[in-house]
Protein backbone atom coordinates (compact mmCIF):
# COMPACT_ATOMS: atom_id res chain seq x y z
CA UNK A 1 0.00 0.00 0.00
CA UNK A 2 1.31 3.40 -1.00
CA UNK A 3 -0.46 6.57 0.07
CA UNK A 4 0.59 10.14 -0.61
CA UNK A 5 -0.81 13.67 -0.63
CA UNK A 6 -0.40 16.18 -3.45
CA UNK A 7 -1.23 19.78 -2.54
CA UNK A 8 -3.09 21.81 -5.15
CA UNK A 9 -2.84 24.94 -2.97
CA UNK A 10 -2.97 25.78 0.74
CA UNK A 11 -6.63 24.69 0.99
CA UNK A 12 -6.98 21.86 -1.51
CA UNK A 13 -5.15 18.58 -1.99
CA UNK A 14 -5.48 15.10 -3.46
CA UNK A 15 -4.77 11.89 -1.57
CA UNK A 16 -3.67 9.01 -3.82
CA UNK A 17 -3.87 5.38 -2.71
CA UNK A 18 -1.97 2.73 -4.69
CA UNK A 19 -3.29 -0.71 -3.73
CA UNK A 20 -1.28 -3.76 -4.71
CA UNK A 21 -2.48 -7.36 -4.86
CA UNK A 22 -0.51 -8.18 -1.71
CA UNK A 23 -2.67 -5.69 0.25
CA UNK A 24 -5.92 -7.59 -0.24
CA UNK A 25 -5.22 -11.07 -1.68
CA UNK A 26 -4.92 -12.99 1.61
CA UNK A 27 -8.23 -11.62 2.98
CA UNK A 28 -10.13 -12.10 -0.30
CA UNK A 29 -8.84 -15.69 -0.61
CA UNK A 30 -9.85 -16.43 2.98
CA UNK A 31 -13.40 -15.20 2.42
CA UNK A 32 -13.69 -17.18 -0.83
CA UNK A 33 -12.51 -20.31 1.01
CA UNK A 34 -15.13 -19.75 3.72
CA UNK A 35 -17.81 -19.26 1.03
CA UNK A 36 -16.80 -22.57 -0.57
CA UNK A 37 -17.33 -24.40 2.72
CA UNK A 38 -20.86 -23.06 3.19
CA UNK A 39 -22.11 -22.36 -0.35
CA UNK A 40 -25.22 -24.22 -1.45
CA UNK A 41 -25.28 -24.50 -5.27
CA UNK A 42 -27.54 -26.93 -7.14
CA UNK A 43 -25.63 -29.92 -8.54
CA UNK A 44 -22.87 -29.84 -5.92
CA UNK A 45 -22.60 -31.21 -2.42
CA UNK A 46 -22.15 -28.62 0.30
CA UNK A 47 -18.42 -27.93 0.73
CA UNK A 48 -17.53 -29.50 -2.60
CA UNK A 49 -18.31 -26.65 -4.99
CA UNK A 50 -15.31 -26.11 -7.33
CA UNK A 51 -13.11 -23.19 -6.31
CA UNK A 52 -13.21 -21.88 -9.89
CA UNK A 53 -17.02 -21.59 -9.71
CA UNK A 54 -16.96 -19.85 -6.34
CA UNK A 55 -14.28 -17.53 -7.67
CA UNK A 56 -16.27 -16.71 -10.79
CA UNK A 57 -19.51 -16.17 -8.88
CA UNK A 58 -18.34 -14.20 -5.84
CA UNK A 59 -14.79 -12.88 -6.29
CA UNK A 60 -15.58 -9.46 -7.78
CA UNK A 61 -18.20 -8.57 -5.14
CA UNK A 62 -15.87 -9.68 -2.33
CA UNK A 63 -12.93 -7.82 -3.88
CA UNK A 64 -14.91 -4.57 -4.17
CA UNK A 65 -16.10 -4.85 -0.57
CA UNK A 66 -12.65 -5.60 0.83
CA UNK A 67 -10.97 -2.81 -1.15
CA UNK A 68 -13.60 -0.32 0.09
CA UNK A 69 -12.88 -1.39 3.68
CA UNK A 70 -9.15 -1.09 3.03
CA UNK A 71 -9.56 2.39 1.54
CA UNK A 72 -11.59 3.64 4.53
CA UNK A 73 -9.08 2.29 7.04
CA UNK A 74 -6.03 3.61 5.22
CA UNK A 75 -7.60 7.02 4.64
CA UNK A 76 -8.60 7.40 8.29
CA UNK A 77 -5.20 6.21 9.52
CA UNK A 78 -3.40 8.60 7.16
CA UNK A 79 -5.54 11.61 8.13
CA UNK A 80 -4.95 10.85 11.83
CA UNK A 81 -1.22 10.26 11.41
CA UNK A 82 -0.70 13.43 9.37
CA UNK A 83 -2.99 15.40 11.73
CA UNK A 84 -4.92 16.83 8.80
CA UNK A 85 -7.60 19.39 9.70
CA UNK A 86 -10.19 18.63 7.04
CA UNK A 87 -13.36 20.45 6.08
CA UNK A 88 -15.96 17.93 5.04
CA UNK A 89 -14.91 14.38 4.12
CA UNK A 90 -12.63 13.14 1.33
CA UNK A 91 -14.42 13.00 -2.03
CA UNK A 92 -13.52 10.18 -4.43
CA UNK A 93 -12.36 11.30 -7.85
CA UNK A 94 -14.66 9.56 -10.31
CA UNK A 95 -13.20 6.84 -12.54
CA UNK A 96 -15.10 5.86 -15.66
CA UNK A 97 -14.35 2.13 -15.56
CA UNK A 98 -12.45 0.14 -12.98
CA UNK A 99 -10.99 -3.11 -14.25
CA UNK A 100 -11.63 -5.42 -11.30
CA UNK A 101 -9.67 -8.15 -13.08
CA UNK A 102 -6.48 -6.17 -12.51
CA UNK A 103 -4.06 -6.92 -9.71
CA UNK A 104 -3.28 -3.33 -8.74
CA UNK A 105 -5.57 -0.31 -8.26
CA UNK A 106 -5.18 3.44 -7.85
CA UNK A 107 -7.77 5.67 -6.19
CA UNK A 108 -7.71 9.45 -5.76
CA UNK A 109 -9.59 11.54 -3.19
CA UNK A 110 -10.04 15.31 -3.09
CA UNK A 111 -9.79 16.93 0.33
CA UNK A 112 -10.48 20.43 1.61
CA UNK A 113 -8.12 21.75 4.29
CA UNK A 114 -8.97 24.15 7.10
CA UNK A 115 -7.10 27.46 6.76
CA UNK A 116 -4.42 28.71 9.14
CA UNK A 117 -5.25 32.10 10.67
CA UNK A 118 -4.96 34.15 13.86
CA UNK A 119 -7.89 35.47 15.90
CA UNK A 120 -7.78 38.91 17.50
CA UNK A 121 -10.46 38.64 20.18
CA UNK A 122 -9.90 42.17 21.46
CA UNK A 123 -10.42 43.79 18.07
CA UNK A 124 -10.13 47.45 17.16
CA UNK A 125 -13.72 48.59 17.62
CA UNK A 126 -15.36 48.36 21.04
CA UNK A 127 -18.57 46.34 21.26
CA UNK A 128 -21.43 47.69 23.35
CA UNK A 129 -22.21 45.67 26.46
CA UNK A 130 -25.63 46.80 27.58
CA UNK A 131 -26.64 46.93 31.22
CA UNK A 132 -30.35 47.37 31.80
CA UNK A 133 -31.17 49.41 34.87
CA UNK A 134 -34.21 48.35 36.84
CA UNK A 135 -35.45 51.84 37.72
CA UNK A 136 -38.44 52.63 39.93
CA UNK A 137 -40.70 53.20 36.92
CA UNK A 138 -39.99 49.69 35.62
CA UNK A 139 -40.69 48.15 39.04
CA UNK A 140 -43.88 50.23 39.44
CA UNK A 141 -45.18 48.99 36.07
CA UNK A 142 -44.36 45.40 36.99
CA UNK A 143 -46.15 45.67 40.33
CA UNK A 144 -49.20 47.16 38.59
CA UNK A 145 -49.24 44.29 36.08
CA UNK A 146 -48.99 41.68 38.85
CA UNK A 147 -51.68 43.37 40.94
CA UNK A 148 -53.99 43.35 37.92
CA UNK A 149 -53.17 39.71 37.18
CA UNK A 150 -54.07 38.68 40.74
CA UNK A 151 -56.92 41.17 41.09
CA UNK A 152 -60.67 40.58 40.96
CA UNK A 153 -62.87 40.95 37.89
CA UNK A 154 -65.85 43.22 38.37
CA UNK A 155 -68.67 42.79 35.85
CA UNK A 156 -69.97 45.95 34.13
CA UNK A 157 -72.53 46.93 31.51
CA UNK A 158 -70.72 49.85 29.80
CA UNK A 159 -67.13 49.89 28.47
CA UNK A 160 -64.65 52.39 29.89
CA UNK A 161 -61.04 53.16 28.97
CA UNK A 162 -59.17 50.58 31.07
CA UNK A 163 -61.76 47.81 30.93
CA UNK A 164 -61.44 44.28 29.62
CA UNK A 165 -63.91 43.16 26.96
CA UNK A 166 -64.93 39.69 25.82
CA UNK A 167 -66.72 39.04 22.57
CA UNK A 168 -66.76 37.40 19.15
CA UNK A 169 -65.02 38.58 15.96
CA UNK A 170 -66.88 37.60 12.77
CA UNK A 171 -66.42 37.80 9.02
CA UNK A 172 -68.22 35.06 7.11
CA UNK A 173 -66.30 35.58 3.84
CA UNK A 174 -62.95 35.13 5.61
CA UNK A 175 -64.35 32.34 7.82
CA UNK A 176 -63.54 34.31 10.96
CA UNK A 177 -65.54 33.36 14.05
CA UNK A 178 -63.31 33.82 17.07
CA UNK A 179 -63.90 34.38 20.78
CA UNK A 180 -61.49 36.94 22.22
CA UNK A 181 -60.77 38.74 25.48
CA UNK A 182 -58.54 41.81 25.62
CA UNK A 183 -58.06 45.17 27.31
CA UNK A 184 -59.41 48.19 25.47
CA UNK A 185 -55.97 49.82 25.58
CA UNK A 186 -54.78 47.20 23.07
CA UNK A 187 -56.96 48.86 20.42
CA UNK A 188 -55.04 51.22 18.15
CA UNK A 189 -56.13 54.71 17.15
CA UNK A 190 -58.76 57.14 18.44
CA UNK A 191 -61.37 56.15 15.84
CA UNK A 192 -61.39 52.50 16.89
CA UNK A 193 -61.08 53.31 20.61
CA UNK A 194 -64.13 55.60 20.48
CA UNK A 195 -66.23 52.73 19.14
CA UNK A 196 -65.45 50.73 22.28
CA UNK A 197 -65.77 53.50 24.89
CA UNK A 198 -69.41 53.73 25.96
CA UNK A 199 -70.42 50.49 24.17
CA UNK A 200 -72.62 48.00 26.05
CA UNK A 201 -72.95 44.23 26.32
CA UNK A 202 -74.73 42.97 23.21
CA UNK A 203 -73.49 45.79 20.97
CA UNK A 204 -71.98 44.87 17.60
CA UNK A 205 -69.06 47.09 16.59
CA UNK A 206 -68.10 47.51 12.93
CA UNK A 207 -64.30 47.48 12.64
CA UNK A 208 -61.49 47.15 10.07
CA UNK A 209 -58.70 44.63 10.66
CA UNK A 210 -55.98 46.93 9.30
CA UNK A 211 -54.28 48.74 12.18
CA UNK A 212 -56.83 47.45 14.67
CA UNK A 213 -54.37 46.56 17.46
CA UNK A 214 -51.31 48.32 18.86
CA UNK A 215 -49.33 45.07 18.40
CA UNK A 216 -49.59 43.49 14.93
CA UNK A 217 -49.26 39.98 16.37
CA UNK A 218 -52.46 40.49 18.39
CA UNK A 219 -54.58 40.45 15.23
CA UNK A 220 -53.60 36.85 14.46
CA UNK A 221 -53.99 35.83 18.11
CA UNK A 222 -57.43 37.35 18.71
CA UNK A 223 -58.91 36.46 15.31
CA UNK A 224 -57.36 32.97 15.53
CA UNK A 225 -55.84 33.13 12.05
CA UNK A 226 -52.35 32.37 10.69
CA UNK A 227 -49.74 35.10 11.04
CA UNK A 228 -49.23 35.06 7.25
CA UNK A 229 -52.92 35.70 6.69
CA UNK A 230 -53.01 38.43 9.35
CA UNK A 231 -50.08 40.24 7.74
CA UNK A 232 -51.61 43.08 5.73
CA UNK A 233 -55.18 41.79 6.18
CA UNK A 234 -57.65 44.61 5.49
CA UNK A 235 -61.24 43.42 5.78
CA UNK A 236 -64.29 44.48 7.81
CA UNK A 237 -65.17 42.52 10.95
CA UNK A 238 -67.89 42.79 13.54
CA UNK A 239 -67.15 42.44 17.23
CA UNK A 240 -70.13 41.48 19.38
CA UNK A 241 -69.53 42.34 23.03
CA UNK A 242 -70.60 39.55 25.39
CA UNK A 243 -68.83 40.66 28.59
CA UNK A 244 -67.38 43.83 30.09
CA UNK A 245 -65.16 43.67 33.16
CA UNK A 246 -62.95 46.00 35.10
CA UNK A 247 -60.08 44.49 37.02
CA UNK A 248 -59.77 45.54 40.64
CA UNK A 249 -56.09 45.45 41.58
CA UNK A 250 -55.00 43.14 44.37
CA UNK A 251 -54.05 44.75 47.67
CA UNK A 252 -50.39 44.86 48.63
CA UNK A 253 -50.81 42.69 51.71
CA UNK A 254 -49.39 39.47 53.14
CA UNK A 255 -51.94 37.32 51.33
CA UNK A 256 -50.77 38.81 48.01
CA UNK A 257 -47.07 38.35 48.87
CA UNK A 258 -47.67 34.71 49.87
CA UNK A 259 -49.46 33.97 46.59
CA UNK A 260 -46.43 35.24 44.67
CA UNK A 261 -43.53 33.72 46.61
CA UNK A 262 -44.87 31.33 49.22
CA UNK A 263 -45.63 31.84 52.95
CA UNK A 264 -43.65 34.62 54.67
CA UNK A 265 -40.90 34.83 52.02
CA UNK A 266 -41.80 38.48 51.36
CA UNK A 267 -43.26 40.54 54.21
CA UNK A 268 -43.45 44.12 52.94
CA UNK A 269 -43.75 46.25 49.82
CA UNK A 270 -40.07 47.22 50.15
CA UNK A 271 -39.06 43.55 50.20
CA UNK A 272 -41.30 42.93 47.18
CA UNK A 273 -39.64 45.74 45.25
CA UNK A 274 -36.17 44.45 46.12
CA UNK A 275 -37.09 40.90 45.04
CA UNK A 276 -38.59 42.10 41.75
CA UNK A 277 -35.53 44.26 41.13
CA UNK A 278 -33.25 41.25 41.73
CA UNK A 279 -35.32 38.93 39.50
CA UNK A 280 -35.51 41.55 36.75
CA UNK A 281 -31.75 42.04 36.92
CA UNK A 282 -31.18 38.32 36.33
CA UNK A 283 -33.63 38.25 33.44
CA UNK A 284 -32.18 41.38 31.88
CA UNK A 285 -28.65 40.00 32.27
CA UNK A 286 -29.61 36.92 30.24
CA UNK A 287 -30.89 39.15 27.43
CA UNK A 288 -27.90 41.48 27.41
CA UNK A 289 -25.47 38.55 27.61
CA UNK A 290 -27.12 36.90 24.60
CA UNK A 291 -26.92 40.17 22.69
CA UNK A 292 -23.25 40.54 23.61
CA UNK A 293 -22.46 36.98 22.51
CA UNK A 294 -24.21 37.59 19.19
CA UNK A 295 -22.40 40.89 18.61
CA UNK A 296 -18.96 39.48 19.48
CA UNK A 297 -19.60 36.50 17.21
CA UNK A 298 -20.66 38.74 14.32
CA UNK A 299 -17.63 40.96 14.90
CA UNK A 300 -15.21 38.04 14.87
CA UNK A 301 -16.72 36.68 11.65
CA UNK A 302 -16.50 40.08 9.98
CA UNK A 303 -12.96 40.91 11.15
CA UNK A 304 -11.19 37.54 10.98
CA UNK A 305 -10.13 37.18 7.37
CA UNK A 306 -9.32 33.80 5.84
CA UNK A 307 -10.14 31.87 2.69
CA UNK A 308 -12.10 28.64 2.48
CA UNK A 309 -11.92 25.82 -0.09
CA UNK A 310 -15.28 27.01 -1.41
CA UNK A 311 -15.39 24.95 -4.62
CA UNK A 312 -14.56 21.76 -2.74
CA UNK A 313 -17.17 22.47 -0.05
CA UNK A 314 -19.88 23.12 -2.64
CA UNK A 315 -19.04 19.83 -4.31
CA UNK A 316 -19.06 18.08 -0.91
CA UNK A 317 -22.46 19.60 -0.03
CA UNK A 318 -23.85 18.46 -3.39
CA UNK A 319 -22.87 14.84 -2.70
CA UNK A 320 -23.14 14.53 1.07
CA UNK A 321 -26.89 14.73 1.71
CA UNK A 322 -29.63 12.14 1.39
CA UNK A 323 -30.37 13.46 -2.08
CA UNK A 324 -27.77 14.70 -4.54
CA UNK A 325 -28.01 18.45 -5.18
CA UNK A 326 -27.43 20.41 -8.35
CA UNK A 327 -24.47 22.79 -8.48
CA UNK A 328 -26.88 25.73 -8.04
CA UNK A 329 -28.57 24.16 -5.01
CA UNK A 330 -25.22 23.31 -3.43
CA UNK A 331 -24.03 26.90 -3.96
CA UNK A 332 -27.16 28.19 -2.20
CA UNK A 333 -26.62 25.83 0.74
CA UNK A 334 -22.99 26.90 0.98
CA UNK A 335 -23.99 30.58 1.13
CA UNK A 336 -26.42 29.80 3.96
CA UNK A 337 -23.87 27.85 5.99
CA UNK A 338 -20.68 29.84 5.32
CA UNK A 339 -21.00 32.21 8.31
CA UNK A 340 -21.68 29.32 10.66
CA UNK A 341 -18.67 27.42 9.33
CA UNK A 342 -16.45 30.47 9.71
CA UNK A 343 -17.47 30.88 13.35
CA UNK A 344 -16.92 27.17 14.04
CA UNK A 345 -13.35 27.54 12.77
CA UNK A 346 -12.83 30.75 14.78
CA UNK A 347 -14.20 29.15 17.96
CA UNK A 348 -12.06 26.06 17.37
CA UNK A 349 -9.01 28.32 17.02
CA UNK A 350 -9.84 30.06 20.32
CA UNK A 351 -10.44 26.74 22.12
CA UNK A 352 -7.15 25.35 20.85
CA UNK A 353 -5.28 28.39 22.17
CA UNK A 354 -7.10 28.36 25.54
CA UNK A 355 -7.18 24.90 27.07
CA UNK A 356 -9.27 26.04 30.05
CA UNK A 357 -12.17 26.77 27.67
CA UNK A 358 -12.37 23.17 26.50
CA UNK A 359 -15.18 21.15 28.07
CA UNK A 360 -14.26 18.42 30.52
CA UNK A 361 -16.57 15.56 31.49
CA UNK A 362 -16.50 16.42 35.19
CA UNK A 363 -17.41 20.02 34.40
CA UNK A 364 -20.40 18.84 32.38
CA UNK A 365 -21.56 16.57 35.22
CA UNK A 366 -21.28 19.42 37.73
CA UNK A 367 -23.19 21.72 35.36
CA UNK A 368 -25.95 19.11 35.03
CA UNK A 369 -26.10 18.78 38.83
CA UNK A 370 -26.56 22.52 39.24
CA UNK A 371 -29.37 22.58 36.68
CA UNK A 372 -31.13 19.63 38.32
CA UNK A 373 -30.95 21.27 41.77
CA UNK A 374 -32.42 24.50 40.36
CA UNK A 375 -35.27 22.61 38.70
CA UNK A 376 -35.98 20.70 41.91
CA UNK A 377 -36.15 23.97 43.86
CA UNK A 378 -38.72 25.31 41.41
CA UNK A 379 -40.94 22.34 42.27
CA UNK A 380 -40.46 22.82 46.01
CA UNK A 381 -37.80 20.13 46.49
CA UNK A 382 -35.22 22.35 48.19
CA UNK A 383 -33.35 19.70 50.17
CA UNK A 384 -32.42 17.16 47.49
CA UNK A 385 -29.61 14.82 48.57
CA UNK A 386 -26.45 14.31 46.53
CA UNK A 387 -27.56 10.74 45.86
CA UNK A 388 -30.90 11.88 44.41
CA UNK A 389 -29.23 14.43 42.17
CA UNK A 390 -26.54 11.98 41.06
CA UNK A 391 -29.19 9.45 39.99
CA UNK A 392 -30.93 12.02 37.81
CA UNK A 393 -27.62 13.22 36.35
CA UNK A 394 -26.63 9.63 35.51
CA UNK A 395 -29.84 9.19 33.51
CA UNK A 396 -29.33 12.49 31.71
CA UNK A 397 -25.73 11.65 30.78
CA UNK A 398 -27.03 8.58 28.92
CA UNK A 399 -29.23 10.78 26.71
CA UNK A 400 -27.14 11.99 23.77
CA UNK A 401 -29.53 14.83 22.90
CA UNK A 402 -29.49 16.15 26.47
CA UNK A 403 -25.71 15.88 26.67
CA UNK A 404 -25.40 17.78 23.39
CA UNK A 405 -27.80 20.50 24.59
CA UNK A 406 -26.00 20.97 27.92
CA UNK A 407 -22.59 20.90 26.26
CA UNK A 408 -23.64 23.73 23.94
CA UNK A 409 -25.06 25.73 26.85
CA UNK A 410 -21.96 25.30 29.00
CA UNK A 411 -19.64 26.04 26.08
CA UNK A 412 -21.57 29.24 25.36
CA UNK A 413 -21.30 30.27 29.01
CA UNK A 414 -17.55 29.69 29.02
CA UNK A 415 -17.11 31.57 25.76
CA UNK A 416 -19.22 34.47 27.05
CA UNK A 417 -17.08 34.74 30.19
CA UNK A 418 -13.95 34.63 28.02
CA UNK A 419 -15.25 37.41 25.75
CA UNK A 420 -16.21 39.57 28.73
CA UNK A 421 -12.65 39.28 30.03
CA UNK A 422 -10.80 39.62 26.72
CA UNK A 423 -12.87 41.48 24.12
CA UNK A 424 -12.87 45.24 23.80
CA UNK A 425 -16.17 46.30 25.37
CA UNK A 426 -17.89 49.54 26.29
CA UNK A 427 -20.61 49.40 28.92
CA UNK A 428 -23.82 51.31 28.37
CA UNK A 429 -26.56 51.62 30.96
CA UNK A 430 -30.06 51.80 29.47
CA UNK A 431 -33.69 51.23 30.35
CA UNK A 432 -35.36 48.10 29.04
CA UNK A 433 -37.23 50.12 26.41
CA UNK A 434 -33.98 51.76 25.25
CA UNK A 435 -32.31 48.34 25.07
CA UNK A 436 -35.04 46.90 22.85
CA UNK A 437 -34.94 49.97 20.61
CA UNK A 438 -31.14 50.12 20.27
CA UNK A 439 -30.34 46.43 20.24
CA UNK A 440 -33.08 45.27 17.92
CA UNK A 441 -34.11 48.45 16.08
CA UNK A 442 -37.62 48.01 17.44
On whether residue 329 sits in a domain, the answer given is no
pLDDT given for residue 46 in this prediction:
76
Give residue-wise pLDDT tens across range 169-192: 999 999 999 999 999 999 998 889
Q: What is the pLDDT of residues 42-54, one digit of tens each?
A: 878 777 778 888 8
Q: What does the pLDDT look like over 395-424, one tens digit per residue?
A: 999 999 999 999 999 999 999 999 999 999
Coil, strand or helix at 405: helix
What local confidence, expressed as pLDDT, does residue 37 receive? Answer: 82
Instruction: Please give the C-alpha separations between residue 48 and each of 27, 35, 38, 39, 433, in angstroms, as whole numbers.
Output: 21, 11, 9, 9, 87
| Spatial distance between the Cα atoms of 182 and 187, rounded to a whole number of angstroms | 9
The whole-number average pLDDT for the span 141-165 is: 92
How many C-beta atoms surround the C-beta of residue 91 within 10 A?
18
Once rounded to an integer, what is the mean pLDDT over residues 223-229?
A: 91
Residue 49 phi/psi, 5-degree rounding, is -70, 135
Instruction: Tell me what pLDDT residue 144 has.
Output: 93
Q: Is residue 6 part of a domain?
A: yes
Q: Tell me the average pLDDT across 205-220.
A: 92
pLDDT in tens, 370-381: 989 888 877 777
Q: Which residue has the higher pLDDT, 432 or 307?
A: 307
**Domain range for residue 202?**
152-248
- The single-letter DSSP state of residue 268 is S
- pLDDT higher than threshold 90 for residue 292: yes
Identify the residue with better confidence: 215 or 165: 165
pLDDT > 90: what percent of the chain?
73
**What is the reported pLDDT for 236?**
94
**Pick from 133, 135, 140, 137: nearest CA to 430:** 133
Task: Determine contact, residues 381/405, Cβ cutoff 8 Å.
Answer: no
Domain at 175, CATH number: 3.10.50
Are 363 and 399 in the same domain?
yes
Q: What is the pTM of this model?
A: 0.72
Compute the Cα dihedral for 74, 80, 81, 82 and give only its sign. positive
Shared domain for 281 and 166, answered yes or no, is: no
- pLDDT, position 255: 93
92-103: string of b/e by CB count within 10 Å (b at 16+)? Answer: eeeeeeeeeeee
- Residue 293 to residue 298: CA distance in whole angstroms: 9
Residue 130: what pLDDT? 95
Does some domain include residue 194?
Answer: yes
Q: Name, of 102-111, 226-235, 383-392, the range with top average pLDDT.
A: 102-111
Q: Is the dihedral of CA 148, 152, 154, 155 positive or negative?
A: positive
pLDDT at 143: 95
Confidence class of residue 303 from pLDDT cuts 50, 70 and 90? very high
The residue-averaged pLDDT of 64-89 equals: 95
* Separation of alpha carbons 3 and 16, rounded Å: 6
Supply the CATH number for residue 41's domain: 3.30.70.1050
- Using alpha carbons, select from 95, 83, 89, 96 the residue that is nearest to residue 110: 89
Residues 234 and 276 in one domain: no
List pLDDT tens digits, range 324-364: 899 999 999 999 999 999 999 999 999 999 999 999 999 99
Least confident of 66-75, 216-225, 250-259, 368-377: 368-377
Residue 412 lies in a domain: yes
Half-sphere exposure (Cβ direction) of 266: Cα atoms closer than 13 Å:
20
Q: Would 143 be classed as within a structural domain? A: no
By C-alpha distance, which of 78, 56, 68 is closest to 27? Answer: 68
DSSP SS3 for 167? strand
In a domain, 169, yes or no: yes
The segment with the largest mean pLDDT, out of 24-38, 106-120, 137-151, is: 106-120
Cα distance between residue 423 and residue 294, in whole Å: 13
Q: Answer yes or no: do 157 and 94 share one domain.
A: no
**Does residue 108 sit in helix, strand or coil?**
strand
Summary mean pLDDT of the chain: 92
Q: Is residue 121 part of a domain?
A: no
| Model confidence pLDDT, tens digit, residues 95-140 | 888 999 999 999 999 999 999 999 999 988 999 999 998 888 889 9
Same domain, 244 and 272: no
How much is the pLDDT for 411?
95
Size (the chain), residues: 442
* Cα gap 270→248, rounded to integer Å: 22
8 Å CB contact between 292 and 416: yes
Q: Contact, 152 vs 247, CB < 8 A?
A: yes
What per-residue confidence (pLDDT) applies to 41?
A: 78
Which of 28, 50, 24, 48 shows the shortest CA–CA distance to 38? Answer: 48
Amino acid sequence: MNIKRTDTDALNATITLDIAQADYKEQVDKILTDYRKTASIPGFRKGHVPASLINKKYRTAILVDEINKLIQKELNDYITKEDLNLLGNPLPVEQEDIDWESDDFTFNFEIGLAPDFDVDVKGKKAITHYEIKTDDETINKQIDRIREQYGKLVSKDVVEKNDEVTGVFRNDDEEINADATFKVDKIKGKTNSKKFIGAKKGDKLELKTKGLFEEDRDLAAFLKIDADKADGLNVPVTFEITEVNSREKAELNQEFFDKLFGPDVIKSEDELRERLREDAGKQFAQQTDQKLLTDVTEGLIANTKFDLPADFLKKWIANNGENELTAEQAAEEYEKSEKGLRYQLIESNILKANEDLQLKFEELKEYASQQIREQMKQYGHTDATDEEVDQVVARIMQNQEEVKRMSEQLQNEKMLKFFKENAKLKKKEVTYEQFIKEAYDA
